[in-house]
Structure 1
Amino acid sequence: MSEKNTDDIEKIWMKRVRNLAGFLGMILPWVSLIGAILVARTKGFPDGFWGELSISETYYVTPPLVGILTTASVVLMCYKGYNLKDHVISALAGIFGLMIVLFPCNCPAASDIVGFFQLPVKISNTIHCASAVAFFLLLSYMSLFQFTKGADSSKKHIKNIIFKVCGIGMLCALALMVIPVEFFAKTFIVEAIALTFFGVSWLVKGEAFGFLSDDKA
């Protein structure tokens, strides 16, 4: 096999990995929500479950969070990118994604001892929240500073604008999380916004949208 064919295969593989990561990020909030609604039809939930709804909270009642986020995390850890820095950042994001799953959050549905390591829920929640922040900070960095690299072109310019909007959007979502303004299902809404920006960024980088594709992606 020629070196050119090898490079073409690697580029196609990288695009598929990016698109898979973006797709999983986009569907995670809604599959988790649908799963929780379906479970709610068969059994009651603790008081406050829906008012404090988060994607992480659905861990206790339906499996999509574990299945989808674990898969997305493995995909991120397998992503090489263009250089070692790409690989390290995405691999770290994948590790923190797995930690979100392994260390569940504290919520009305949680027991005193939770997760794979059976830790007190307050300790698990601290690790969970720190991992989630690190996860989105790393993905924001990827979108703002890694995805925007490369030779310039008219389409690349448009894509860079999208990458920057997505990176800033994820950071704004994190900021909104700590602002002391409460509304129904605030955490879920903010998480869904952040994951949508993540998904769009990776789908654009993976050239899922044909009208933005060029040979200089």
Structure 2
Amino acid sequence: MIGHNKNNIFTYRRLRRTIGYLGIALPLLLVGFSLIPFFKTEVQPSISDYYYTNLRDIFTGTLAAVGLFLISYKGHGNASLWKNDQLLTNVAGIMAIGVALIPVSPETEPANLFSLIPYNFPWLGWLHYIFAALLFGIFALLAINVFTIGQNQSEDIPVSTFNENHIYRFCGSAIIVLILLIPVSEMFRLFNYSTLVLEALALFFFGIAWLIKGRALGDEGKIGEKLYREHNSITID
């Protein structure tokens, strides 16, 4: 039974790390490939605009993978809607798939684009924005309200500045600030590619929160004490 519990713990941690890595990798792959002439794609104003480029499969495929992983992630239930891990990850997964499949309205008519979802209806573009806003909002909720639940309290280990709960709250708060800045950047044109940069940073903090929750840095020794207030590496969280 103990071995079975350990396997479940490690499976959940691998799933968390996979979600985190995908979130960080998405903007890096899109922008990185845009800089390679072979792909014949310019750096886009936003991540969503990559739907209309040669890199669309990376955009839609990565988001769809994140969505499926979030849906398959069986988190803890909670009487509070804002702390219900399983419900929030399921909704976030659906939103991620929606963002991937329902395109943002293009600024210009795309050439030779095959799409199962019509892109020339403005209301679909607004639906894309709604899905994206809900997705990032849930990302922030998970980091602030859910990931901070249930940390072991080893009284002999002081709470470090780098305690995991501090990191989760910082990442969640950063996501909220960055997403609120996006419409501001669109309105005032703060700097070139401002929307792309803000979205990439929000995905970075999303990924960091999931990687820390998945114990990507390990959890033994000083790391276990500083991040998780633990003396050993096998706990159920």
The answer (yes or no) to whether the contact 2:22–2:207 under 8 Å persists in 1 is: yes
Superposed displacement of residue 82, structure 1: 2.7
**Cα offset, 1:114, TM superposition:** 7.7
Higher-Rg member (1/2): 2
Give CA-to-partner distance per residue, 1:58-77, whole Å, 9 cap, x none.
Answer: 12211211111111111011
Superposed CA offset, 1:94-127 (max 9, x none): 1000000111112335549984332534122111
Q: 1:100 to 1:114 in 2, by over 3 A?
A: farther
Map residues 197-208 of structure 1 onto 2, 5 A cutoff: 197-208=205-216
In 2, the alpha carbon distance for the partners of 1:104 and 1:129 equals 9
Q: Does 1:184 align with 2:192?
A: yes
1:104 lines up with 2:103 in the alignment: yes
Mapped contact 1:144–1:164 kept (Cα < 8 A): yes
Spell out, residue by residue over 1:132-190, the C-alpha distance to the aligned partner (whole angstroms, 9 max, x if none).
Answer: 00000011000000000013345876000000000001000111112133120111101
What does residue 169 of structure 1 align with?
174
1:181–1:146 distance in 2 versus 1, CA, 3 Å: same
Task: Assess, with a 3 A threshold, how the Cα gap between structure 1 residues 202 and 59 changes in structure 2: closer, same or farther.
Answer: same
Task: Find the partner of 1:79 among 73, 76, 99.
Answer: 73
Q: Is the 8 A contact 1:103 1:116 kept in 2?
A: no
RMSD (CA atoms) = 2.4
| Partner AA of 1:76 in structure 2 | L
Residue in structure 1 matched with residue 132 of structure 2 by the alignment: 132
Structure 1 residue runs of 5 or longer lacking an equivalent are none
How many pairs were matched up? 209
Q: Residue 194 of structure 1 is aligned with which of 198, 202, 208?
A: 202
The alignment's TM-score, normalised by the length of structure 1, stands at 0.86
**Paired residue type of 1:83:** G
Structure 2 unaligned spans of 5+: 79-83
Q: Aligned equivalents of 1:155 and 1:57: distance in 2?
A: 46
Counterparts in 2 of 1:11 and 1:184: CA distance versus 1, 3 Å: same
| Code of the aligned partner of 1:34 | G
Provide TM-score, normalisation by structure 2: 0.79
Name the SS for the 2:117 alignment partner: coil
> Does structure 1 conserve the Cα–Cα contact (< 8 Å) formed by 2:105 and 2:120?
no
Between the aligned partners of 1:193 and 1:117, the Cα distance in structure 2 is 28
2: CA distance, partners of 1:178 / 1:103: 20
Call closer, same or farther: CA 1:67–1:156 in 2, change over 3 Å.
farther
Corresponding residue for 1:56? 48
167-176 vs 148-157, which moves further: 148-157
Task: Provide the residue aligned with 1:152 in structure 2.
Answer: 153
